[in-house]
Amino acid sequence: MTGGGDCPGLNAVIRAVAKDALNCGVEVVGIEDGYLGLIENRVRPLTDTDLSGILTMGGTILGSNNKSNPEKHAVGKNADGSLIYKNVMDDCFVTLQQHRIQALVVIGGDGTMTGAAKFAKRGLPVVGVPKTIDNDIMGTEITFGFQTAVTTATLALDQVRTTADSHHRAMVVEVMGRNAGWIALHAGVASGSDVILIPEVPFSLESVYEKVRQRRSMGKRSSLLCVSEGAKMVGGKQIVARVVETSPDPIRLGGIGKYLSDHIEDATGVESRYVVLGHTQRGGTPVAADRVLSTLLGHHAMTLLREGKAGRMVAVQKGVLTDVDLEEPAGKQRVVPAETDELVGAARTVGASFGDL
């Protein structure tokens, strides 16, 4: 089952898990559209034919869903328009029993792992595989999809730099990440961005203006800013694009790119533009490193099930495959330790501003 937002490498994990199981004589089924498939009893067999050619495909052949929570499932509305919720965990177990499902591999982020832990507590053997382009899951130092998202963002920043140079502009590129700045940090360093703004380091507008003015005074043709969607000013709040009431994670961040672009031009006189990369970071074929990582994680998930080690999430720690309790990532986010992170320090030494000095 794949839950939460889509991510490059999901199909590679599905392929690794299913091929491993099928080669051991284990029947494999896929649950469609995350927990919603369990709730609505949408389950289908997976065969070698289904798995053929999916290693390089983006997205997920099973579909996904980032709004379904079996313990709080929207089933209608009250007269005043407010949603009516119902705990449908029992319905999910009916689905599991009907299809003779004896173990479940759940591929998803922190919200999906939180749900998986609830199934494990009720006795179902569950193994989780951490997925998110944001790289913010506790218990593992890297998630598949992250490296593809960073590559996509870096290529976009490289392309934006050339047009910025041509027109002597400040260009702001807004990337994803929620409350964690991993994508902005890595793509910002890889692209040589002049300003890198991440949620973990609150910035001041004046510091950003000063960097743009400084580059202009040095005769530089442009300024490139890589900005995480969750970046915020000192003493300020993140910019919320919208709230999705039916989602377990209702806050959708966005808008910081336009905000900065408008203010930079007004304050410095330097013509500014902004680009929001959005879901382009989630799409497309996974890079080789993510295909390899997905295959390793999927294989390790099956190894754990064969060894009877359920209620675990596969992980990478200090470059080594391992596993942690499913409860470890529940309700948490792994953020950039800005004071100690080596890449933050390296970025500062080569002249990148984080807007805080």
Token output for 217: 């005074």
Cα torsion 112, 118, 124, 128: sign: positive
Angstrom CA distances, 340 to 20, 137, 335, 336, 350, stand at 40, 19, 12, 9, 17
φ/ψ of residue 38, rounded to 5: -70, -40
Inter-axis angle of helices 288-306 and 146-167, to 10 degrees?
160
Angstrom CA distances, 300 to 13, 53, 307, stand at 10, 21, 10
Catalytic residue among 6, 33, 110, 134: 134
Distance in angstroms (rounded) separating the CA atoms of residues 152 and 166? 22
Q: Are 171 and 226 in contact (CB under 8 A)?
A: no
Identify whether 110 is a catalytic site residue.
no
- Catalytic annotation, residues: 134
